[in-house]
Amino acid sequence: MSESTARPSLCLNCGFEARSSDNQWNTVEAPPLGILTQCPECGSTDITNRQ
């Protein structure tokens, strides 16, 4: 999937939205789950990809 057609990700907590390729999302390590995507606005890890 090219960058122009990549679907944005959405924070289900605050509504922040950006493409994963925009490098706006933070990450956090949460053992034993591994590395999770984290919202830069509210810190939530409840993120989904838009369809």
- Please check the confidence at residue 2 and state whether its pLDDT lies above 70: no
Q: How many helices (H) and strands (E) are present in the chain, helices listed first?
A: 0, 5
The per-residue pLDDT for 37 is 94
- Please check the confidence at residue 4 and state whether its pLDDT lies above 70: no
pTM, rounded to two decimals: 0.79
Q: What is the pLDDT of residues 22-42, one digit of tens each?
A: 899 999 999 999 999 999 999
One-letter amino acid for residue 21 of the chain = S
Cis peptide preceding 40, ω within 30 of 0: no
